[in-house]
Amino acid sequence: MIRAGLQRLASVFNSQGGIISRFITQNAPAQHRPAEETTKDVISTCNKLIQEKSHRNFAIVHLLGKQWRVTDGDLLVVEGYWPPNIGDKITLDKVLLAASKDFSLIGRPLVQPGLVTVTATIISKGLSHTKTHFKKKRRKQFMRINFQRSQQTMLRINSVDIKNSINSAPKNVF
C-alpha cells in the first residue's frame, strides 16, 4: 500500500512538466506589458503617494558607524564622543533607505541627496551606566575590578520627510 502511494507520487513528479509547471501555467499573467510602461506606472504611483503623505515614513540612517531604523519621534542613544551640543538641530544625510507603508526607496548605497530629509535634535549628553570588568585567578590571590562609563548622546528624531518626486533632476544643495 505504501509502495503504491510512493509510485503515484513519483509518477506525478516524473510526468511531463510535473507539479511546478502545472502551477505556473495555471497562474500565468493575463497580459504582458513592456518594462518601460510598468516602471513609469510605478514611479507615478509612488509620486502620488509622496504628495498625499498619508502614511508615516521611516528611514534607515547610517550614523557613527551603525545603521538605525528611525521614524518621527524616535529616541536614539548613540555611544561614543560626538561634538554637537545639547539643543542643536542636525540633519542626518546618510540615508540608506526611505520607505512608507506602500513603497520603498533603496539607495545604491545612499538615496539621492535632497530626496529624503531626516532632522533630529540633541536632547542630552552624558555617561552610560557603570560597567564592571572583574578579573580573578584562582589560588593566586589575584583580583582586579575595573569600572567603565562611556559617553552617550541622546537624539530625538523630529521628522522623516520625502521631499521631491522620484526620478526628477536632483537640485544642488550647495
Overall average pLDDT of the 3-12 stretch: 67
Contact 155, 121 (CB under 8 A): yes
**What is the H or E stretch that residue 163 is in?**
none
Check if the beta carbon of residue 55 is closer than 8 Å to that of residue 101.
yes
The arithmetic mean of pLDDT across residues 126-151, rounded, is 95
- Provide the CB-side half-sphere exposure for 69 (13 A, CA): 4
Distance of CA 111 to the CA centre of its chain: 12
Task: Name the strands in the sheet holding 58-63, side by side, starting at the edge strand that comes first in the sequence.
Answer: 66-71, 58-63, 95-99, 104-106
More confident residue, 23 or 36: 36
- In tens, the pLDDT along 52-100 reads 776 788 999 999 889 999 999 999 999 988 889 999 999 999 999 998 8
129 has pLDDT over 90: yes
pLDDT at 12: 60
pTM for the model: 0.67
